[in-house]
Amino acid sequence: MSNEFLESLDTQNRFSKRVDDYVKYRPSYPFELIEFMEREHLLKKGYVVADIGAGTGKFTELLLKANYKVIAVEPNEPMLSACKKIYGKNKNLTCQNGSSEKTNLPDKSVDLITTAQAFHWFKLEETKIEWRRILKPNKYIALVWNSRKKGENAPPFLQDYEQIVMQFGTDYQKLQENFLVQEKIIGLFGENGYKEFHTIYQQRVNFEELKGRILSSSYIPQADSDIYPKMVVELKRIFRKHQIDNQVTLDYDTELYYGKLD
């Protein structure tokens, strides 16, 4: 499955200038995911987990808290450096420069592959070849997303937030059209199929945190952009409209898709 638009982007360096905002303002994930994966035997004590596209280590942190050995694989040097700085003292962590298509890990060396908030960026066919190489036989892959609630069933604040993203996001709509997440999930697991687990997660933020959260997104204009001031004005407007006790809530559907390679 080739995608000319995504392949035309410099996906490796797309977040390089957003690392600080990513570390401070991106949400974590519910620990419930780890508990579920243990119940379903995706994770077992003593496992080595490759967290691919680990970024600054948002999901890596949960695996480390559960005392798993984790190899955080990330191609973006500023993000990998942040992961090392934050979690590097943990003896169970190894940080590895590498991509989903070329992890630089040994053959049959990991018991589980996880990827959080990243699979939509990967080249599917190259990734399948690489993951088949590094994953031990009959072991699982777990794909995770925090998906911001959208549409008419989303809370009013998030409906207004989506309008700002649509108005000011540089290539937001084009990305949504080209990620083809469901097709890629089906393409990854093939005839074996996959299972799903869903839960909810909330992030309560003040205005500065909300601004940092939106700036952590790769499609949002940064402070040196001509349209940045107007975007901040709009963000302040919807914050004031919806705030309770000087905070608003970002609601997420946390999604886990898991299975074995075909």
Residue 213: inside a domain: no
Residue 57: inside a domain: yes
Q: What element of type H or E holds 71? A: strand 69-74
Q: Is the pLDDT of residue 15 over 90?
A: no
Residue 192: predicted pLDDT: 84
**DSSP assignment of 185-230:** HHHHHGGG--EEEEEEEEEEE-HHHHHHHHHTSTTS--TTSTTHHH
Residue 172: inside a domain: no
Q: How many CB atoms sit inside 10 A of residue 142's CB? A: 24
Q: Is 196 exposed, middle or buried (0-12, 13-18, 19+ CB in 10 A)?
A: exposed
Residue 194: inside a domain: yes
Q: Which of 170, 174, 141 is nearest to 3 (CA)?
A: 174
Residue 221: inside a domain: no
Angle ∠(92,96,102) on CA atoms, nearest 5: 135
The strand pair at 48-52 and 110-116 is best described as: parallel
Residue 216: inside a domain: no
20 CB contacts (<8 Å, ≥6 apart)?
none
Residue 247: inside a domain: no
- Taking residues 238-258, report their average pLDDT: 98
Q: Is the pLDDT of residue 226 over 80?
A: yes
Q: Is 47 exposed, middle or buried (0-12, 13-18, 19+ CB in 10 A)?
A: buried
- The model's pLDDT over 175-215, given as tens digits with 9 standing for 90+, comes to 776 668 899 999 999 988 999 999 999 999 999 999 999 99
Residue 184: inside a domain: yes
> How many separate domains does the chain show?
1
Residues 233/115, Cβ–Cβ less than 8 Å: no
Which CATH number characterizes residue 72's domain? Answer: 3.40.50.150
Structural domain boundaries, residue 192: 4-148+178-204+252-259
Q: Is the pLDDT of residue 113 over 60?
A: yes
Q: How far is residue 135's CA from residue 234's CA, in Å, rounded to a whole number?
A: 46
- Taking residues 110-131, report their average pLDDT: 96
Q: Is residue 1 very low, low, confident or very high in pLDDT (cuts 50, 70, 90)?
A: very low
Q: How many CB atoms sit inside 10 A of residue 31's CB? A: 12
**More confident call, 4 vs 69:** 69
3-state secondary structure of 99: coil
